[in-house]
Every structure is written in C-alpha cells, then in structure tokens.
Amino acid sequence: MVDREGLLTDLNKDDAEYTVNPIFLDINIKSINDTKEVFNQKISPFLFYILKKDSKLCFIIKQINYDDINGLFFSEYDKKKIIFGKRIDYKYLENCLFELKNTLKEKNMYDKYNVFDFSFNKRIILKYE
C-alpha cells in the first residue's frame, strides 16, 4: 500500500525478512491507467521483493519504470536496462539475470549488450540500443 505521502506502508510480513538499508530509486510510470493503481499493482510488489534481505537486486537498481508497452523494467547503475515485462516470478528472474551476467562476463561479452529482456517465458533477448 502507499500512503498519502507516497510511502510504502503495511508490509504485513515479518520485518526480519526485509532489509533496513535505505535505497533511493527514481520511479517512472507511463500508463493510461491511474498512476497510483499501477504503482500499487505493478511497482509495489517488485519493491517489496527487492527489499527482501536475500534479494541481490536492491543495490544495483538505479531507476524503476513501468509503461503499457514494456511492462516493468529497470535500469542498473552500470547503464543496463532489464525488462521483466508483466512477469512476477521475481526470484527466478533474478537468478536468471545474475547467471546471464556471470556467463557474459566470463566470455567477455557483457559490454556488447545494454538491454536484457526477460519478458518472454522461454527466451531472453539481448540487444544494444
């Protein structure tokens, strides 16, 4: 939930499960739907996931975005754009992302791509925009 000031409230979970480290994110929503509704339905669950202590995504994300075409995507501090689309299996996607990054770094191909698109169920699209 989001309160009137736009702050996340009511985790309704054990606080020990979440990180207490402050994070600063730029969040952009471009949708024909109500922004607060999109935030509560699309962005908020992702924020709760990345704030979990076992998530490695929390400290690499610079900006979270949502639009009606791409769905959920975010930018990393190393200028990579990661597209999760409308998928919500965040733990699986996070594992795939870090496995892909490690593989590309081992093969010295990491810098050849700046977009990793995980929005498809059976494939990952790598491209440079």
pLDDT tens string 37-76: 888 888 989 988 888 878 888 888 999 999 999 999 999 9
Instruction: Say yes or no to pLDDT of 31 above 70.
Output: yes
Q: Does 24 or 47 have the greater pLDDT score?
A: 47
Q: Which CATH class is domain 15-127?
A: alpha beta
The average pLDDT across 8-22 equals 56
Indicate whether 109 pLDDT > 90: yes
Per residue in 76-98, pLDDT (tens digit) is 998 999 999 999 999 999 999 99
Look at residue 34 in the predicted model and tell me its pLDDT.
Answer: 87
- Residue 78: which of 95, 96, 97 has the closest Cα? 97
Residue 107: pLDDT band (50, 70, 90) is: very high
Q: What's the burial of 25, exposed, middle or buried (CB within 10 Å: 0-12/13-18/19+)?
A: middle
The full set of domain ranges for the chain reads 15-127
Say what the pLDDT of residue 2 is.
Answer: 47
In the predicted structure, residue 14 carries a pLDDT above the cut 80: no
* Amino acid 54: pLDDT: 83
Does residue 72 contact residue 85 with C-beta atoms inside 8 Å? yes
Q: Which two tokens stand for residue 52?
A: 């979990």
Q: What is the mean pLDDT of residues 7-33?
A: 67
What pLDDT is stored for residue 1 in this prediction?
44
- Listed as own residue / partner, the contacts of 64-67 with beta carbons closer than 8 Å and 24 or more positions apart are 64/25, 64/26, 64/27, 64/28, 65/27, 65/28, 65/29, 65/30, 66/28, 66/29, 66/30, 66/31, 66/38, 66/42, 67/29, 67/30, 67/31
